[in-house]
Amino acid sequence: MESKSAVNMLSALGHEGRLAIFRLLVRGGPDGVAAGDIARTLNVLPNSLSANLNILSHAGLIVSRREGRSIIYSADYDAMSGLLGFLMEDCCNGVPEICAPLGSIVAGAQGCGPACAPGSAC
Amino acid sequence: MESKSAVNMLSALGHEGRLAIFRLLVRGGPDGVAAGDIARTLNVLPNSLSANLNILSHAGLIVSRREGRSIIYSADYDAMSGLLGFLMEDCCNGVPEICAPLGSIVAGAQGCGPACAPGSAC
DNA sequence: GAGATAATTCGAGCATATTGGAAATATGGA
DNA sequence: TCCATATTTCCAATATGCTCGAATTATCTC
């Protein structure tokens, strides 16, 4: 991940409405959420939503596909993972204090964390 | 971490100059870096730097202390950790695809990752 | 084709952010 | 006290971002 991409993503997420949209899409899973459903859920005007979806899309954080009359948006997991990795680079290469508390979060998720042999001491 | 705090941090980091400053401070370690050294390293005007340091400080990402004529800035590791944790909340509670690749980063860092018994299968 | 629904694009007005020069404040040393 | 250094604050110009109403495009159904 280049610094320029990271700046675009961070600035896209540095907006209350857009962060809410993105978190909704992440929770929405791979199937995605229709633009209209997002607008109704978050109670925002459709044109404002469209503008913010466009910004998130240009930042590479979300992708869209048409399905009939609706346009379905979904979070780009690779991009999000890349951004988190970028932010962690500095810390884990020199400043473990930041990453340390995150280990449990990562490990606590199902399917997340470093591969541990089942039944091992992990 | 509240959503409002996360937005402030993300928007503070969503700026090329400020992201460079923050990364420099993270790499700078707990001892911190003097404002003048930051300005010289990144080749920015002192007043612009001061404004950006102020924004990062208000976002809670950095702290400062005076030392003689210099003011030393350092990254707030708890805040950074909190932000990363906030961004991970969604993914690891439902969308492990995002967190999975991060596990190796966290685990690869010295002192990072879930506690594993030395010599275990981890 | 006509009408309804879903979403986007356009454009104006307003607010906020960014930049850089100049002046002000704080500290340490002669 | 006087001067040099370090940093911040003030200010104005410029640029960018945000919001909202209205019009436009795309799709489906009848």
- For B43, what's the count of Cα atoms within 13 Å in the CB-facing half-sphere? 0
> What does the pLDDT profile of chain A (122 residues) look like in tens digits?
788 999 999 999 999 999 999 999 999 989 999 999 999 999 999 999 999 999 999 999 999 999 999 999 999 998 998 998 898 887 766 677 777 777 666 665 444 434 333 444 43
Domain boundaries, chain A: 1-110
d(CA A43, CA A104): 35
Instruction: Show residues of chain A in contact with B29, CB under 8 Å.
Output: 94-95
Question: Cβ of residue A93 near strand C, that is under 7 Å?
Answer: no
Q: What is the pLDDT of residue B11?
A: 97
Quick count: other Cβ atoms within 10 Å of Cβ B43? Answer: 6
> How does pLDDT run across B94-112, given as a tens digit for each residue?
677 777 777 666 665 444 4
B11: nearest CB among A15, A77, A89: A15
Q: What is the amino acid identity at position A21?
A: I
B103: nearest CB among A19, A110, A112: A112
> How does pLDDT run across B43-73, given as a tens digit for each residue?
999 999 999 999 999 999 999 999 999 999 9
Instruction: Show residues of chain A in contact with B31, CB under 8 Å.
Output: none
- For A26, what's the count of Cα atoms within 13 Å in the CB-facing half-sphere? 28
User: Does domain B1-110 bear CATH number 1.10.10.10?
Assistant: yes
